[in-house]
Amino acid sequence: MSKADHMLSILWMLKQRRRTAMELAEELEISIRSVYRYIDALCASGVPIFADAGPGGGYSLPKHFTDAPLFFDSEEKRALVQASAFTRGTGYPYVDALDRAIAKLKRYSNTEQIEHMERHESGIETLYTLSAPLEHLLGELELSIANGNTLQMEYRKGNGETTSSRSINSYGLVLWRGQWYTVAYCHLRQEIRSFRVDRISGLLRTQTSFVRPTDFSAREFLLQSLLPDHSKIENLITVVIESSERILNDLCSHWLFGHTLEHRTKDQARFLFDETSLFTYVPYFLLPYGKALHILEPLALNHRLAAIASELSLHYETL
């Protein structure tokens, strides 16, 4: 048996009744020294084992100790409490359950371990700006993904004025740039599409079931839908930007520019964009850099930036 198996066996034996080190050693067919070592390891992992000396003594567990805890080391406990911090404000539907799990983890930890967890927990915070409470919708979508239930969805279009009703098989949830998306097969369009969760006005679980595609990644689907198709490279436009190494590093760290980067030197970077992205999204990403960068090609992108800047100037001059 492995060390973990022996430790679990000791836990289950102590849950039944108080036992001496000799009794544990005999039942597990190990040495008393090994018993002491496993008891020390259990205590170090946060298990509250009582040791009573003298006649009738031995090892025991407190009465409230009804669940065998997992053997988390200090790094694993730190990771768990910090991971819980990342869910705050995201709309994650199981925050209360996570709080209960963390409370249970602390309950079976000693004072030193609790102080260690809380020190690391207090240093992690997140900032999200969700437009509306989404816990109910996210919870329903997560259950649909896990159980394979088709959902009837009421969905508002981007203009917010019209609503469409459609059936979807939700394959996954993605939190991207402060927005939750569900990637789902749309029975109306008969294709996989992505939907913003904050635009869903209603969800109804149906009796129809589906099988989620094996190894499907909602994250990869969403990402690929936002990026140019490099298999059709002849339709892509080359963008060459010159700037300082610091500015280019910052620009290339952006998800869109990082994924479209074709070649990079210290002071120059070459990207490949489809026409729609180039003239719809790219100019607004570049505007905040002002005169800190130069667009060497295409000339049309310079003209687009100039037009946007002129429109902004005219707008604020006429206010």
248 vs 144, 152, 232, 269, 285, CA distance in Å?
42, 45, 26, 7, 13
- In this predicted model, what pLDDT tens digit does every residue of 191-240 receive, in sequence order? 999 999 999 999 999 999 999 999 999 998 988 777 766 556 668 899 99
* Cross-strand bridge partners of residue 196: 181
Query: Distances in Å between the alpha carbon of 126 and those of 83, 85, 87, 131?
Result: 11, 7, 8, 16
Name the range with the highest mean pLDDT among 99-108, 148-157, 252-261, 270-279: 148-157
Average pLDDT value for residue range 171-191: 92
Band the pLDDT of 295: cuts 50, 70, 90: very high
Q: What number is the average pLDDT over the span 251-280?
A: 90
**DSSP element (H, E) containing 278:** helix 275-280
> Is the distance from CB of 48 to CB of 85 less than 8 angstroms?
no
| pLDDT above 50: residue 68 | no
Q: What are phi and psi of 185, to 5 degrees?
A: -80, 125
Residue 11 has pLDDT above 50, yes or no: yes
Mean pLDDT is lowest, of 125-129, 193-197, 216-220, 263-267, for: 125-129
pLDDT at 309: 92
Query: E strands, 12-148, where?
Result: 50-52, 58-60
70: pLDDT strictly greater than 60: no
Highest mean pLDDT among 44-58, 59-73, 170-184: 170-184
Cβ count within 10 A of residue 272: 19
State the pLDDT at residue 171. Answer: 96
Q: CA–CA separation, 202 vs 254, rounded Å?
A: 34
Q: Percent of the chain, pLDDT > 90? A: 40
At position 196, the amino acid (one-letter code) is: R
% of the chain beyond a pLDDT of 70 = 91
pLDDT for residue 131: 63
Please report the pLDDT score of residue 112 as a whole number: 81
Q: For 79-83, 205-209, 246-250, 282-286, which range has the lowest pLDDT when averaged over its residues?
A: 79-83
Burial of residue 251 (CB within 10 Å: 0-12, 13-18, 19+) is buried
CA gap 38, 217 in Å, rounded: 42
Q: What is the C-alpha separation between 179 and 315, in angstroms, rounded?
A: 29
CA-to-CA distance for 274 and 94, rounded, in angstroms? 39
To 10 degrees, the CA torsion angle through 302, 303, 309, 314? 170
Q: Which residue did the predictor score with more confidence, 212 or 57?
A: 212
The predicted model scores a pTM of 0.65
Average per-residue pLDDT for the chain: 86
Average pLDDT over residues 70-89: 82
Burial level of 157, CB count in 10 A (0-12/13-18/19+)?
exposed
Question: What is the reported pLDDT for 228?
Answer: 64
